[in-house]
Amino acid sequence: METAAVQTVDLCKRYGGVAVLDGLTMRVARGSVHALLGPNGAGKTTTVRILATLTAPDGGTARVDGHDVVRDRRRVRRAISLAGQHAALDDQQTGAENLRMMARLAGLAPAAARRRAADLLERFDLVAAGGRRVATYSGGMRRRLDLAASLVGEPSVIFLDEPTTGLDPRSRQGLWEVVAELAGAGVTVLLTTQYLEEADRLADRIAVLHGGRLAAEGSAADLKRRFGAHRLELTLRDAQSFAAAGQRLGDRVTHRDQARLELAVATGGDAAEIRHLLDHADPDRRGLARFIVREATLDDVFLTLTGDPVTAHPEVARV
C-alpha cells in the first residue's frame, strides 16, 4: 500500500479536563482532497494544528509525508503549508511584496523569489492587483493571496483551515476552483470546513468528526447512501386528505406541516417503493396535489451523525 500523505492513529488531545481529540484514526491518500467536517468543537482545527506541528498531541501518533509530527518536526514543516482561518499577510505591503518576502523566507535567492511571486500572482489571477497594498484587497482577493503565499515553497501537503469563511459566493467559487487545480497538480489538500456544499463539491473523501472522534468516513456519495435517505415529499389537496394520508403512513412520516398540507416520508429512492408509497398515501388518487423525490444530502448525513449524543455512534463507520 502506498504511504499515506497524512496518517493519524489513536490521536488524543486534552485541554484541561476536556478531550478535544479522543482516539482519532484516519488516512489521507496522496494527491487527494480530504475534508474534515464537523460542528464547532468537533476537533477539526486541533487536528490541523497537530499535523502542522503547532500543537503537540497528548497521545497517539501522526505522520505527514512519512514523517512523525513530534520526532521529525523540521521535515514535516518543509513538506507542508498551512492557510488558517485568517489571512497571514502584511497589509502595508503590496501583494507582490508579500509573496517575494515569503519566497525569501523560504530560502529562494532574490531573482528566484521575484519569478516565484510573478508566477503565483498570475496563477491566482492577481497580476493586476499585485502592485496594490493588501489593505485595499477584498476578502476574496486576500484569501487568494494567502493561498498563493502558502504555496511559495511548493509543499506536497497543504492544510486549509476553513479557507472560505466569510467569503461571498463568487469568491468562494473562485477559491474552490483553485483548490481543485491544486489537487489536479498532485498536491494533497486537507480541508476543514463547516460548509457542507464545499465538502460535497471538493472532497474525494470526507471524515465527519464529532466529539473528537471519527463518526464516519467515505466519499460524499457513500456517506449519503449509508447515512442519508431519499425523501418523498407529498402535498395534499385539503385538510381531510392530509389527515387521511398521515394516518395511513403512520410512523413512516418524518415531517408534517399542516398549514402547507405537506408530509415527508423517508425512502430508499427505488421506483417501486415510491409507487407503493403513493398508492398507500392516496389510494383513490384524488387527495394528492403533487409530490417530489429529494435525494439525500450531506446535510442529512451531518444531522444523522452529529445530531445525537456522541455515544449514539461509538463505532467508526468507514466506507
Name the 3-class secondary structure at 200. Answer: helix
Q: What is the pTM of this model?
A: 0.75
Beta sheet of 6-15, edge-to-edge order: 18-28, 6-15, 59-64, 67-68
pLDDT value for 1: 52
Query: Measuring CA to CA, how many Å separate 21 from each of 39, 139, 145, 147, 310?
Result: 13, 31, 31, 27, 13
For residues 156 and 310, which has the higher predicted lDDT (pLDDT)? 156
DSSP 311: G
* Distance between CA atoms of residues 181 and 150, nearest Å: 15
Assess contact for 144 and 175: CB atoms under 8 A.
yes
pLDDT value for 159: 94
Per-residue model confidence as pLDDT tens digits over 301-315? 887 788 643 333 334
pLDDT value for 319: 46
For residues 310 and 247, which has the higher predicted lDDT (pLDDT)? 247
For residues 280 and 252, which has the higher predicted lDDT (pLDDT)? 280
The average pLDDT across 1-15 equals 89
Other C-beta atoms within 10 Å of 293: how many? Answer: 13
Q: Which domains does the chain have, with CATH numbers?
A: 6-225 (3.40.50.300), 230-295 (3.30.70)
pLDDT value for 182: 84
Considering only CA atoms, which of 26, 5, 3, 1 is closest in space to residue 182?
Answer: 5
pLDDT, mean over the chain: 88
DSSP 122: H
The average pLDDT across 196-213 equals 91
Considering only CA atoms, which of 318, 44, 46 is closest in space to residue 194?
Answer: 44
What nine digits make up the cell of 95? Answer: 501583494
List, in sequence order, the alpha helices (H) in 56-195.
73-79, 95-105, 110-123, 139-150, 169-184
The average pLDDT across 147-162 equals 88
The average pLDDT across 161-170 equals 80
Per-residue model confidence as pLDDT tens digits over 10-68? 999 999 889 999 999 999 999 999 999 988 889 999 999 999 999 999 999 999 999 99
What nine digits make up the cell of 229? Answer: 435517505
- Tell me what percent of the residues of the chain surpass a pLDDT of 70: 94
Compute the C-alpha angle 292/298/302, nearest 5°: 120
* Beta-ladder partners of 205: 34
pLDDT value for 2: 63
pLDDT value for 87: 63
Please determine, for residue 317, whether its predicted confidence score (pLDDT) is greater than 80: no
pLDDT band at 177 (very low <50, low <70, confident <90, very high): confident
Please determine, for residue 85, whether its predicted confidence score (pLDDT) is greater than 80: no
For residues 123 and 116, which has the higher predicted lDDT (pLDDT)? 116
Please determine, for residue 107, whether its predicted confidence score (pLDDT) is greater than 70: yes
List, in sequence order, the alpha helices (H) in the chain.
44-51, 73-79, 95-105, 110-123, 139-150, 169-184, 196-202, 220-227, 239-249, 271-281, 298-306
